[in-house]
Structure 1
Amino acid sequence: MCTNGVNTGQFEQMIDQIDDHIKLERRWSHTLAHMAGDAGYETVSEKLHTVQALLDDVRAALDEAKDALEDDAASASNITVSLV
């Protein structure tokens, strides 16, 4: 469905693509944090665990953006065009 010139379905898919990318980077930061910790690099491990937590925050914000997209599209006052 398009609302105010934005295809909301595609927009949501793009947010999902960003989320998938962040999910992968989170997994890598988690793996590297444990590798660093196992090698005795405690400061590096701690920093990478911080990165992991920040990426969790990013993913939560992306979920909020998807919810906001639905809310904004529902309350948009201009013309709405639906694909039939």
Structure 2
Amino acid sequence: MCTNGVNTGQLEQMIEQVDDHVKLERRWAHTLGHLAGDAGFATVSEKMHAAQALLDDVRALLGEAKDALEDDAAAASNVTVNLV
């Protein structure tokens, strides 16, 4: 469905793609944090775990954006076009 010239289905898929990418990077930050910690690099480990926490925040915001997509599309007052 398109709303105001935006294909909302595609927008939702793109948000999901970004989330998948961030999920992968979060996993790497977690792994590297443990690798650094196990090697005795405490500061590096701390920074990598802080980066992991920030990526968790990014994923939460992406989830909120995806949830808000339907509400925003429904509230849009311009023309809505459905593919038949």
Does TM, scored on the shorter chain, surpass 0.5?
A: yes
1:50-72 per-residue CA deviation (whole Å, 9 max, x = no partner) reads: 00000000000001111121110
Percent of paired sites with the same residue: 80
1:19-69 per-residue CA deviation (whole Å, 9 max, x = no partner) reads: 000000000000000000000000000000000000000000001111121
**Letter paired with 1:12:** E
Query: Alignment partner of 2:78: what SS?
Result: coil
**Letter paired with 2:55:** L
Q: How many residues align?
A: 84
**Letter paired with 1:35:** L
Distance 1:79 1:44 in 2: 52
Residues 28-67 of structure 1 correspond to what in structure 2 (within 5 A)? 28-67=28-67
User: What is the Cα deviation at residue 83 of structure 1?
Assistant: 1.2
Which consecutive segments of 4 or more residues in structure 1 shift more than 3 A?
none
Structure 1 residue runs without a partner (length 5+): none
Distance 1:41 1:68 in 2: 41
Structure 2 residue runs without a partner (length 5+): none
